[in-house]
Structure 1
Amino acid sequence: MTGQRTYGGISAEERRAQRRTALLDAALEIIGSQGIDKLTVSALCAGAGLNERYYYENFDGRDAVLSALFDAIAEELATAILRAIQTAADDTRAHAHAAITAGIGVLTDDPRKAQVALLVSASTPELRTRTTHTIRAFAHLVAAEGIDFYGLTDPDPNPAIGFRATYLVGGLVHTLTSWLQGDLDMPRDELIDQTTDVFVLLAEDLATRLRD
């Protein structure tokens, strides 16, 4: 029975996961190099080197591919940001700079990911909804990290924390989009430094107010 479920030491589930990853990698390449309009079933399967039946094994349409790819990039972003925070020096600016550097790095070291995460994310109603939910999730992450870092242990956090976290994450998304489109003429290091300044300014100001 085991021999029927495995091939070359790889289970059927693992093979399916590999095919799904290959399809998502192909989608990333197509969108990044040719644009979303070129994302067809035939192009996707050709890029992944797979039969079309494997596409339908994993996805029921193009929106499902885009959503899965968007979610994968969001997960990669969250992982990179949390890892950076865990290894940063124990001060506000170091935490903010490390997190922002990691997040912007994921999107700009491979510009195809920025194309999906920021420029294609509003292309369908499903992706617009996903973008809103993802911004909210990252705002919750920022708020939780701020509460933990500043020791704000109130069981009922001040709503200003959520407001500022949402403002920061939403503002960063729009700023990054403008920068990627060439509307902000500055090098990446300066973009990171300027963003860090804003995060630190709003975080320190609010922490001071809440402690007074």
Structure 2
Amino acid sequence: MTAQRTYGGISADERRAQRRAALLDAALELIGDQGLSKLTVSGLCARAGLNERYYYESFTGRDAVLTAVVDRIAEELAIAIIEALRAAPDDSRAKAHAAIEAGIHVLTDDPRKAKVALIAGQATPELRARTTETVRVFIRLVAAEGIGFYGVTGRAPDPAIDFRATYLVGGLVQTLTGWLQGDLPLSREELIDHTTDIFVLLGEDLAARLG
């Protein structure tokens, strides 16, 4: 039975996960380099070096591929931000700068990730809804980190917290989009520094108001 489940020391589930990852890597390359129109079953499998039957092993259609690509980028982004927050000194600017720097690096070290997230996330009404929910996840992360850092727990939630977190995350998404399109003549370091300034300013101001 073991021989049927493993091949070369790799289980069937592991091989399936590897094939799925290869298809997602290929989708990132295709959309990032050639555009959404090139994302076909044959093109994706050819880029991944896999037989087309393996496509249907993991995905039911193009929307499923796009959703998985966007979700994987969002997961990578969340992990990078959380790890940066944990490693940063216990200082508001240091934590904000570390988190923002980590997030922006994920999306710009390989510019295709930001491009794909923006293109794929708006491809259909379902994907737009998924993108909206993903943004809400990061809004909740910003709000929770702010509440924890500034010690405003143990009281009724203040709508101002969610408002500012929404404003910050939404503003960053729009700013990053404009920067990637060349509309903002800033270096990446300047973008990170300016964004950090805004996060710290609004966070400390709100903490003073609620303190």
Q: If the TM-score is normalised by the length of the shorter chain, which range does it land in?
A: over 0.9
Map of 2:9 onto structure 1: 9
Find the aligned partners of 2:120 and 2:174 in 1 and give their Cα distance: 13
Query: Matched residues in 2 for 1:206 and 1:117: separation?
Result: 31
One-letter amino acid of the counterpart of residue 28, structure 2: L
**Counterpart in the other structure of 1:62:** 62
Alpha-carbon distance in 2 for matches of 1:74, 1:19? 20
Q: Residue 85 of structure 2 corresponds to which residue in structure 1?
A: 85
The count of residues paired between Structure 1 and Structure 2 equals 211
Matches of 2:201 and 2:68, distance apart in 1: 35
Write the distance in 2 (CA, Å) between the matches of 1:163 and 1:82: 21
Alpha-carbon distance in 1 for matches of 2:15, 2:205: 51
1:122–1:128 CA contact under 8 A, matched in 2: yes
Q: Contact (CA 8 Å) 2:23, 2:44: kept in 1 or not?
A: yes
Contact 1:88 1:98 in 2 (8 A): yes
Cα RMSD after superposing both structures:
0.8
Provide the secondary structure at the position in 2 that maps to 1:184: coil
Conserved in 2, the CA contact under 8 Å of 1:119 and 1:177? Answer: no
Return closer, same or farther for 1:180/1:119 CA change in 2, 3 Å cut-off: farther
> TM-score scaled to structure 1, two decimals?
0.97
Number of the residue aligned with 1:136 = 136
CA distance in structure 2 between the partners assigned to 1:35 and 1:43 by the alignment: 12
Quick one: distance in 2 between partners of 1:117 and 1:205? 32
Cα offset for 1:155? Answer: 4.3
Q: Residue 192 of structure 1: CA displacement? A: 0.5
1:162 corresponds to: 162
Deviation at 1:154, TM superposition (A): 2.2
Q: Counterpart in 2 of 1:108?
A: 108
TM-score, normalization: structure 2? Answer: 0.98
> Following TM superposition, where does structure 1 have runs of at least 4 consecutive aligned residues deviating by more than 6 angstroms?
none
- With over 3 angstroms needed to count, the CA separation of the structure-2 counterparts of 1:119 and 1:175, relative to structure 1, is farther
Cross-structure match for 2:199 = 199
Identity percentage over the alignment?
73
Could you say which residue in structure 1 is the equivalent of 2:71? 71
Partner of 2:172: 172
Deviates more, 1:28-37 or 1:114-123: 114-123
Matched residue SS, 1:185: coil
Q: Which runs of 5+ in 2 are unaligned?
A: none
**Do the aligned residues in 1 keep the contact of 2:81 with 2:99 (CA within 8 Å)?**
yes
Displacement of 1:164 in angstroms is: 0.6
C-alpha separation in 2, matches of 1:83 and 1:155: 27
Amino acid at match of 1:205: D
